[in-house]
């Protein structure tokens, strides 16, 4: 599994500010906005205008008036040297908000599996909705933007006050035609939640395919409308992690490009609006990395969403905002889209220091974008796929009202201890599989994964056993221990000097079941399970195995995804992942630090490693093992200060580099 080809040459980051209506409807506020940007040359390349400040669709007469005003606003922006475009905030809508001043009429509203509706959201398959969308995009295209953005309200999950949609009569009739079977809300819900496992998965996959097609039809309408007026005009789409919608980003990008292959933009996003949880930056970076993974390499304009809603300056620091932009480029973006200014028609004085910090940070963003290009981060893949949503809550619960998360984020602690992420299977040296998530892959892909390096929790091992892959896993899952189990390290080279060390997941607090593992011939235990009296519960709770396909497998029956951040467990975990990869992991943090790194190889023989000290402690004497033949790397910090870092030893195919100190929550770039 190798890094994706870097087909798009990136020479610098491309950044924009997204501007709310209170800042551009008023002549005074608009003039002050441009004056602010002019005081900080280089802070932005583009100025993008929201059409509204609330989330249901606008009446067409209101949108027409705003499009006419924006035509003049955009001409003025260009005179100041910026590109400019329009972001329709609400194509189909997102919340029940400001309903008296929003689109009204005989539109079919987004409907959930219980028949409840969101009054602020339109069904994308309703012909009246399509008529509205056609006219809305005609109005904004004729205003003359340099590009058009579709916002993240184009989704089928997470609209308030409902959750999953759309299950209106028209959508069910469409699904009935697609599957050649009549469906009601009740019969569909029963089919995806009961009956044979294979049938449940089949109907769930069919609904995901239906959702993919629903969004593709809407995008086709938008593309045809826009390009009939302005051939070649770039169209962009903002995403989150769209598992329920089928994660069909590559196909949707092709639809938005149209038959002539017009440029397509992307804006991956997610949460993280305040400083309350700094590790939310890292989690969002991984979310964004997954959103970029399926995009065609020709999609070169990828601006991460950086949002500070409700835009109160003391809620998010300038430093965290700048760090977000850098982390998201490290994960695969090529620029940033800042939605961080006031949502009120008031002076921007309190925001000027923030704009100043972002201007200072710009050269580092350019460096990151240039160094990584459109190459894929390489390392450990978290076992997610386009069909992952189909596999959740298979045994119990309601699939259409999920309480269980999809595979994707379970490896975050692995990355916090210095194991780099891969968001694409093609860029992975090892894959982490959890629970029924293994059922999202076809047999050929599963065998490909199991012939490489795979880390499994007990639930994934059990699912693979049920799928007749037990001989490739090396362990059967035995007795369950819901309370009072402790993991105790055994003597094994992968445990290093930590034989006898213990790990306590405190099952009384965190309700996670531990499992005994029953090794098959050739399997090797790494840890056993004991109770609080140190009596043995199971001779094996963690082990490794090499299978007949040449694959290396680790099965973890005890707290497989958490409690990894003490010295003994982090050291063993890194040794295991390196072993799984057969020493092909491109780099990892050898020392005991909370460092997140993204490793990319944009050109043969090159390496670009973005490092984030994800701790409030300074990171001193960080030892990084890099699979390279070079004897010296160049480290550049966020202030563009460069330091030469010579190799200080080797370990097999890896060279060891001891880095200068990294300040708390700071990034640096290491390059060969």
Q: What is the mean pLDDT of the chain?
A: 96
Give CA angle at 192 (187, 198), nearest 5°.
125
Dist CA 402 CA 388 (whole Å): 13
pTM for the structure as a whole: 0.96
Q: Residue 5: its pLDDT value, please?
A: 41
Name the residue with tokens 């965290």. 320
Q: Given this model, what pLDDT does residue 8 score? A: 61
Residues 6+ apart with CB under 8 A from 156: 110, 164, 165, 166, 211, 214, 215, 244, 245
Report in angstroms the alpha-carbon separations of 382 from 220, 410, 446.
32, 7, 14
- 3-state SS, 454-502, equals EEEEHHHHHHHHHCCCHHHHCEEEEEEECCCCEEEECCCHHHCCCCCCE
**Beta carbons within 8 Å of 301's beta carbon, 6+ residues apart:** 14, 234, 236, 263, 264, 265, 266, 334, 335
Question: What is the model's pLDDT at position 1?
Answer: 34
Element (H, E) at 281: helix 279-293
How many alpha carbons fall within 13 Å on the CB side of residue 388?
21
Closest of 346, 422, 345 to residue 383, by C-alpha? 422
Q: Which CATH number among 3.30.70, 3.30.450, 1.25.40, 3.40.50 corresponds to the domain 379-581?
A: 3.40.50
Q: Read off the pLDDT of residues 590-607 as tens digits, 9 standing for 90 and up.
A: 999 999 999 998 787 789
Q: What would the pLDDT profile of 527-553 be if each residue is shown by its tens digit? A: 999 999 999 999 999 999 999 999 999
**Which residues does the chain have with pLDDT short of 50?**
1-6
Q: What is the pLDDT of residue 4?
A: 39
β-bridge partners, 481: 514
CATH topology of domain 595-671: Immunoglobulin-like (2.60.40)
Domain boundaries, the chain: 379-581, 595-671
The pLDDT score that the predictor gives to residue 316 is 97
How confident is the model at residue 606, as a pLDDT?
87
pLDDT at 602: 79
pLDDT for 526: 98
């Amino acid at each position: 599994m190798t890094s994706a080809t870097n087909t798009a040459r990136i020479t610098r980051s491309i950044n924009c500010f997204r501007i709310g209506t209170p800042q551009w409807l008023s002549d005074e506020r608009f003039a002050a906005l441009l004056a602010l940007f002019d005081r900080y040359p280089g802070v932005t390349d583009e100025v993008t205008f929201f059409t509204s400040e609330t989330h249901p669709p606008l009446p067409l007469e209101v949108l027409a008036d705003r499009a006419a005003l924006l035509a003049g606003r955009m001409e003025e922006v260009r005179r100041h040297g910026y590109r400019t475009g329009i972001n329709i905030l609400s194509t189909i809508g997102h919340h029940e908000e400001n309903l008296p001043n929003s689109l009204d009429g005989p539109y079919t509203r987004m409907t959930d599996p219980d028949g409840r509706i969101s009054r602020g959201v339109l069904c994308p398959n309703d012909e009246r909705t399509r008529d509205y969308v056609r006219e809305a995009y005609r109005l904004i295209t004729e205003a003359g933007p340099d590009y058009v953005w579709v916002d993240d309200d184009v989704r089928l999950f997470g609209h308030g006050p409902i959750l999953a949609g759309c299950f209106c009569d028209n959508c069910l009739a469409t699904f009935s035609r697609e599957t050649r079977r009549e469906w009601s809300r009740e019969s569909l819900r029963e089919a995806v939640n009961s009956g044979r496992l294979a049938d449940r998965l089949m109907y769930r996959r069919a609904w995901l395919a239906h959702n993919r097609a629903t969004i593709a039809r809407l995008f086709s309408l938008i593309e045809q409308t826009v390009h009939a007026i302005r051939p070649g005009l770039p169209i962009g789409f903002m995403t989150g992690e769209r598992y329920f919608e089928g994660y069909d980003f590559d196909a949707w990008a092709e639809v938005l490009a149209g038959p002539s292959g017009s440029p397509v933009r992307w804006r991956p996003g997610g949460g993280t609006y305040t400083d309350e949880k700094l590790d939310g930056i890292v989690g969002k970076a991984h979310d964004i990395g997954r959103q970029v993974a399926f995009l065609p390499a020709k999609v070169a304009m990828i601006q991460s969403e950086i949002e500070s809603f409700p835009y109160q300056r003391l809620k998010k620091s300038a430093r965290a905002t700048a760090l977000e932009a850098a982390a998201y480029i490290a994960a695969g973006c090529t620029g940033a889209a800042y939605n961080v200014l006031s949502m009120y028609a008031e002076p921007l004085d309190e925001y000027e220091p923030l704009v100043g910090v972002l201007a200072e940070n710009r050269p580092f963003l350019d460096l990151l974008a240039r160094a990584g290009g459109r190459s894929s981060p390489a390392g450990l893949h978290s076992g997610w796929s386009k069909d992952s949503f189909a596999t959740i809550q298979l045994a119990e619960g309601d699939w259409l009202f999920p309480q269980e998360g999809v595979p994707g984020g379970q490896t975050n602690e692995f990355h916090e201890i210095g194991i780099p992420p891969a968001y694409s299977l093609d860029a992975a040296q090892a894959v982490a599989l959890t629970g029924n998530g293994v059922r999202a892959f076809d047999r050929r892909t599963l065998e490909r994964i199991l012939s490489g390096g795979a880390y499994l929790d007990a639930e994934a091992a059990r699912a693979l056993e049920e799928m007749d892959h037990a001989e490739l896993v090396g362990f059967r899952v035995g007795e369950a221990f819901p309370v009072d189990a402790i993991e105790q390290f055994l003597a094994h080279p992968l445990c290093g000097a930590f034989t006898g060390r213990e790990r306590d997941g405190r099952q009384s607090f965190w309700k996670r079941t531990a499992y005994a593992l029953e090794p098959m011939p050739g399997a090797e235990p790494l840890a056993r399970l004991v109770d609080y009296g140190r009596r043995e519960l199971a001779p094996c709770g963690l082990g490794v195995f090499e299978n007949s396909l040449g694959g290396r497998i680790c099965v973890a029956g005890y707290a497989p995804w958490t409690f990894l951040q003490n010295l003994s467990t982090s050291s063993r975990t890194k040794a295991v992942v390196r072993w799984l990869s057969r020493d092909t992991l491109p780099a990892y943090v050898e020392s005991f630090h909370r460092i997140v790194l993204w490793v990319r190889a944009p050109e043969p023989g090159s390496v670009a490693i973005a490092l984030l000290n994800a701790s409030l402690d300074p990171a001193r004497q960080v030892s990084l093992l890099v699979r390279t033949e070079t004897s010296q790397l160049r480290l550049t910090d966020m202030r563009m200060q460069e330091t030469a870092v010579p190799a200080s030893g080797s370990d097999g195919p890896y060279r060891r580099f001891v880095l200068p100190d990294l300040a708390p929550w700071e990034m640096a770039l290491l390059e060969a």
